[in-house]
Amino acid sequence: MAGSILLWVPLYMGHVELPTAFAPRDWHIHAMLFGGLPPIIAGFTLTAVSSWTGRPTLAGRPLAILALVWLVGRIAVSVSTLIGPTTAAVIDLAFPLALAAVLGREIVLAGNWRNLRVVGLILMLALADAGFHAEAAINGLAGVSIRAALSAVLMLILLMGGRITPAFTRNWLKARGETRLPVPFDRFDAAAMGVAGFAFVAWTIVPDGSGTALALGLAGLMTAARLTRWRGLATRREPLLLVLHVAIASIAVGFVVEALAILWPAVIDPAAALHLWTAGSVGLTVLGVMTRVSRGHTGRPLAADKLEVAIYALVSAGALVRMAAPYAGNAYYHLVACAGALWATAFLAFAIGYLRTLVGPRADKAL
């Protein structure tokens, strides 16, 4: 994701060209939504599915083949004028479809039917990817498919984050002798998820409707109310856990900001609202989960160090600067470049800082 951002900024400003059939804006959006996020989703879900089903985690040659399919898809999209947009689309779609097939197989074999909704969201992402290629070919720019894809990603965060965030918080609080614990998933959580899903569907189909704004506002309020039941403020001394609460909170705020952008577009720039979700919610979720999982799976304490705090600060600053860019007048391009640099640096800091951690021996075995 860092690489695509660092390439996109000069591409957007006209300093670099790629032999892609996508406009620079669409190449950037596609690289983030359908290029960078699916392998991260794959890493999380392929790890989680073994816990759900009790079956071995995908590894070795099958995992390498899946990674290769993703890489070939990214190359195909970037050289689509050379191989043809249709060929590029087929190659690009192979990864999400293969991931859905692998996850579906594991879930079905284990009879873990309730988790098939995760497969459904991944298939929705694949369908949005196909729509993206079609829209770009027909209209020159994509629209509906972008909103559909982002909706699927945010719903996946609300679904998976709605499981792990209160669960991690519960474990952390219990270890400290707390008796007030997060409220277990109940009908209110289900209702909040339902309203969020409806709001996303309305936003995808009728992005400028006043009814859509009402649905988005209600979804924001219900998501925020859901979040208050998880005791997030009690985790303020542990950034590794707090960041997951902040990521969900930014989705709730994003619902409200997007609603206001529909009602008062002259005051709230729609692009600013959109980047609260993409650069903010998605960025914080991805880095929050990656840092926690990396520490946990390598036998290290589940506590943030200076590196993790710096990573979260950088990605948050990048999101805020990007949101401010539409209001900066002539400094717009400078702020976009600054936001891209901050956001990419967060991911580069993770990659460099965690390289030794991920390739080295487990910390608990070294003791």
Which of 120, 142, 164 finishes a domain? 142
Which of 116, 142, 168 finishes a domain? 142
* 241 and 304 within one domain: yes
* 313 and 256 within one domain: yes
* 77 and 119 within one domain: yes
Domain assignment present for residue 215? The answer is yes
* 93 and 40 within one domain: yes
Domain assignment present for residue 150? The answer is no
Q: What is the DSSP string of 52-105?
A: HH-PPPP-HHHHHHHHHHHHHHHHHHHTHHHH-HHHHHHHHHHHHHHHHHHHHH
* 172 and 121 within one domain: no
* 127 and 258 within one domain: no
Domain assignment present for residue 63? The answer is yes
* 164 and 103 within one domain: no
Domain assignment present for residue 147? The answer is no
* 208 and 103 within one domain: no
Per-residue pLDDT reduced to its tens digit, 225-236: 999 999 999 999
* 242 and 176 within one domain: yes
d(Cα 135, Cα 25) in Å, to the nearest integer? 13
Q: Which of 123, 122, 148 is nearest to 135 (CA)?
A: 148
* 303 and 170 within one domain: yes
Domain assignment present for residue 148? The answer is no
Look up residue 125 and give its amino acid. Answer: L
Q: Which of 315, 285, 336, 218 is nearest to 41 (CA)?
A: 285
- Comparison of pLDDT for 239 and 62, the residue scoring more: 239
Residue 145, SS3 per DSSP: helix
Please say if the pLDDT value at position 361 is more than 70.
Answer: yes
Domain extent at residue 45: 1-142
Q: Which of 127, 139, 34, 120 is nearest to 77 (CA)?
A: 34
* 207 and 121 within one domain: no
Q: What are phi and psi of 47, to 5 degrees?
A: -75, -45
Q: What HEC string does 163-224 produce?
A: HHHHHHHHHHHHHCCCCCCCCCCCHHHHHHHHHHHHHHHHHHHCCCCHHHHHHHHHHHHHHH
pLDDT bin (cut points 50, 70, 90) of residue 80 is very high
Please say if the pLDDT value at position 166 is more than 90.
Answer: yes
* 258 and 175 within one domain: yes
Domain assignment present for residue 277? The answer is yes
- Which pLDDT belongs to residue 12? 67
Number of domains in the chain: 2
Per-residue pLDDT reduced to its tens digit, 92-129: 999 999 999 998 888 888 777 777 888 888 898 899 89
- Which pLDDT belongs to residue 367? 46
- In this prediction the pTM is 0.87
d(Cα 278, Cα 294) in Å, to the nearest integer? 23
- Which pLDDT belongs to residue 13? 67
Domain assignment present for residue 167? The answer is yes
Which of 142, 163, 185 finishes a domain? 142
Domain assignment present for residue 77? The answer is yes
